[in-house]
Structure 1
């Protein structure tokens, strides 16, 4: 297949490049508006109990759980004429809109409710509302209302918050952050590529393919919004991933092409050979990354599913661009791919002579060869020390705590974040983000049982008050009449006010205590703590299956690639080790709050649970990028090694060590450069102002760099040295299976069984 693709691209290069240019323009135009069609929610299942409770509140109780909050602040106090006029105006504007329900404000609410809508300091008051529609509609309405109502008038300041406003601000922030990240990643990547290749022409090729992949990604995301919900967070991740993978894959192919030119091949045969060899590596790499991302589709929350749909398509687009479009450019450029080598004038400027060549014909001159030779001679201590080092780095992950994201993922400069901080500090009874709502759907039993139930709920630890149709209860005592509208013909609901962070372990413990209180009817729990518990439960149920599928898919692909059952197991264990170290670093930085001042995020004491899962799937697949690239060259050397003894080709442990050293020597510079480039692209997300995108950027950067340096150049060679010829072993039935269906280059020699080190 790869040979046919290479032949087509070398025969019709101009037609392919013109088609690609037209496609890039169309994709850019179609995908330009994608940000407006993406959604910010999607962290919980629509079938979860908390989701059912939210729908019942929206449909039957005029949106009793508000998703839009306006904070009115006045230095003269909220009862001053100016503040009252602003508050009444806000209430009237909200009530006049058809897409707004359940408007309540300090100035119009009954006394029992109004006291909770006034801050403890008396200078802030609240207006609550529920914006109807799906996530996109409510967020769009929040943006329109904020633009219309927020600001300062006569010394009175109005700011917005609530889940709809928070997600609208997150949308805007991510769109801005994406432009900043790409503005950082693309020029820095070009500088690194120039340092790697020397030639400006060669350096521009991977970057051009990367830009094509970004435009294609935007169009792919836009297409998926037509048929399913897609998370706004996929915008940053998939565009970064498309740029990183496109540069990676192009780097492999351009490097192999230049190597084949140096070996004396003409441009067309060199292109064909590069596609057959490096292109094969690209296909395997793309397959492992795509399979890792596809596993995310088993989770029933669209935040993760959107990465599965879009991610697989993006990986396919990046690989196709590198295998089809890039070879067409290489054929047309020919030897000019090495033109504009800026290292020549720089050496003249500094009076430096050109270094001696390290070509594929003499890899023993490479420092990579010398390093692997040294590692092979000290394989046991290297393996022990590095394994202990990675386990130590991963140890903080043992104390991980998980929680749902709230407004604190935004920077303190965001208005919705500022209002959230005021709510937590000044409104102990009215912070709807902390409250738990209990829906008794279909209940018609009267106020008596409701009162007893509310008393029981109010005795739970950390509960400040329970509002019900039977009254307001504090620690088992009735303190007054309840607000109207909490009971109707469809059932009743109760609001449990608390100052406990709903996404913390204490919030989870409180929810379990509330659920243990006997209810007069089936009780559905909603609110932050319930959403958090439902999300964690849903993820935990599917996580073992996801890990098993990734391990199985990786094993199958690497077996088809190498014919060995030992190397896939080794790769899975090493990937897990590097990921554990990255996860430990993430706990230390983001959960425990180290470096929060440097990175500008707020540590809340727990991690967003979807992030480690997403990072695991992404990093696991991307780490296999370097594993496949490295193994491809080691395998080439291994298959070319050995000698004929009594008419049989045999290979020894010494052949294994030589194949290791030569394979790393031929690829070390390239996959290290690829890792640096991927780290630049992923690391650009650290500039984001949304904290868990910073987490993803830093986590993936550390994983990629650790994997391409300590893992692939030291720990992997040490283990492969210790395993000797057993690296290439498979049971006889699987060996025969690989001989029939294993994917190999057209000119691979027939595999021969290795012999123990003692023979020859």
Structure 2
């Protein structure tokens, strides 16, 4: 005959382990958190801004063919726009300044230019006129780069910032214009917005938790669950990103959902644990804490696990979408929710 008490053995054993070995487990947890943070630090540099093409689709084939068969085009095509606010075309200073800026950009090691065609490469006023703005101050050069689309979207915002800082004091506005540059800047602004959102929301979350629990320890524990889930998830994603393409949006998905789900699950656990403690406010024995923790794991713990499995199963269906950016976000959600369940239960 089946022992009906069997399902309760795991929560009881786990409650005894976490109660009697809480200090070593806390030290181990903090050490793992530090290692995970170190592992997750390079993640932004490993992510790709691409992933928007469905493999073997018409758009993917067209984009691939555009990179071949055109002299100097490269994997990514850009337009270098140079505006001289101090001189006009025909002035020797204009020619020298524009040519110097164009050669510097084409020689940039980070851009990996494969060639250029435009105002600075042509001779004759008629040929160059097609690459000169109506204001006689703006020159255009078509630039081919060996950077793939995803890498270009990740690196171009940094290259643009560097060019702006270098040439604007000289009265030159040097810009790299392309679809990759546009979406790269969108991704860059998204990352900056995510950082700002974290700086704003974390203190607000802590304030709400303090008002809810009336306990600094409980509030910090709930916040630590969310932060730990995100850090561990980003560490795993950094390992994956070293071997396969992951979109920059995986970081946004993991961070935003990880904080929300982690704090939410910790609320279930902590509130249930407090309700299971003996009334009276007197000193608690180890048995009281273990009993309350075991009951918490059997009730709210099972709820958290069931909820996490449901989210993971639902988000896993997005892996059926043959689009890297969608699969990346799904992976971020699956990993961070799994760690949220683990941290909440432990």
TM-score, normalized by length of structure 1? 0.40
Q: What does residue 46 of structure 1 align with?
A: 55
Match of 1:92 among 103, 106, 109: 103
Secondary structure (helix, strand or coil) at the match of 1:130 reads strand
Other-structure match for 2:284: none
SS at match of 1:266: helix
What residue in structure 1 maps to residue 4 of structure 2? Answer: none
Partner of residue 64, structure 2: 55
Larger radius of gyration: 1
Asked if the contact 1:2–1:275 (Cα under 8 Å) also holds between the matched residues in 2, the reply is no
C-alpha deviation, 1:4, in angstroms: 0.8
For 2:188 and 2:217, how far apart are their aligned partners in 1? 36
Extract structure 1 runs of 4+ deviating beyond 6 A: 110-113
Give the Cα separation in 2 of the matches to 1:289 and 1:199: 30
Q: Which of 233, 250, 262 is matched with 1:246 structurally?
A: 262
| Partner residue, 2:196 | 180
The 2-side partners of 1:112 and 1:69 are apart by 20
User: Residue deviations 1:236-269, cap 9 Å, x none?
Assistant: 2211111111100000010111111156892111
- Give a deviation string over 1:431-464, Cα, whole Å, max 9, x none: xxxxxxxxxxxxxxxxxxxxxxxxxxxxxxxxxx
Please report how far the alpha carbon of residue 138 of structure 1 lies from its aligned counterpart in structure 2 after TM superposition.
3.2
What is the 5 A alignment of 1:107-506? 107-109=120-122, 114-135=128-149, 137-139=151-153, 142=156, 145-146=159-160, 149-150=163-164, 151-152=167-168, 154-262=170-278, 266-324=288-346
In the aligned structure 2, how far is the partner of 1:148 from the partner of 1:213? Answer: 35
Contact 1:220-1:310 within 8 A present in 2 as well: no
- Relative to structure 1, is the Cα distance of residues 184 and 114 closer, same or farther in structure 2, using a 3 angstrom cutoff? same
CA gap 1:114/1:65 in 2 versus in 1, 3 angstroms = farther
Partner SS for 2:277: helix
Residues 127-146 of structure 1 show CA distances to partners (whole Å, capped at 9, x for unaligned) of 22121133454356635754
* Distance in structure 1 (CA, Å) of the matches to 2:117 and 2:9: 69
1:104 deviates by 1.8
Task: State how far apart, in whole Å, the 2-side matches of 1:82 and 1:6 are.
Answer: 81
**Take 2:319 and 2:63, find their aligned partners in 1: how far apart are those partners?**
24
2:7 is equivalent to residue 7 of structure 1: no
Alignment gaps of 5+ in structure 2: 1-6, 281-286
Structure 1: gaps of 5 or more residues: 325-760
- Whole-angstrom distance in 1 between the partners of 2:144 and 2:320: 32
Residue aligned with 1:159, SS: strand
Is the 1:297–1:308 Cα contact (8 Å) retained in structure 2?
Answer: yes
Separation in structure 1 between the aligned mates of residue 155 and residue 273 of structure 2, nearest angstrom:
54
Instruction: Check whether the contact 1:66–1:128 (CA below 8 A) recurs between aligned residues.
Output: no
Whole-angstrom CA distance in 2 between matches of 1:83 and 1:51? 40
In structure 1, the partner of 2:117 is: 104
Question: Bigger shift: 289-298 or 58-67?
Answer: 58-67
Match runs of 1:323-722 below 5 Å: 323-324=345-346
Per the alignment, do residues 65 and 306 of structure 1 end up closer, same or farther by CA in structure 2, a change over 3 Å counting? closer
8 Å CA contact 1:206, 1:247 repeated in 2: yes
Deviation readout 1:284-312 (Å, 9 max, x if unpaired): 21112112221211111111000122221
**Is residue 80–residue 176 contact of structure 2 (8 Å, CA) maintained in 1?**
yes
Deviation at 1:97, TM superposition (A): 6.1
Q: Which residue does 1:68 correspond to in 2? A: 78
**CA distance in structure 2 between the partners assigned to 1:241 and 1:281 by the alignment:** 18
- The answer on whether the counterparts of 1:83 and 1:156 sit within 8 Å (CA) in structure 2 is no
Residue 40 of structure 1 deviates from its aligned partner by 1.3
1:29 to 38, 55, 58: 38
Q: TM-score, normalised by structure 2?
A: 0.83
Contact 1:31 1:219 in 2 (8 A): yes
* Secondary structure of 1:101 counterpart: strand
Report if the CA contact (8 A) 2:206-2:219 is conserved.
Answer: yes
1:251–1:97 Cα change, 3 Å: closer
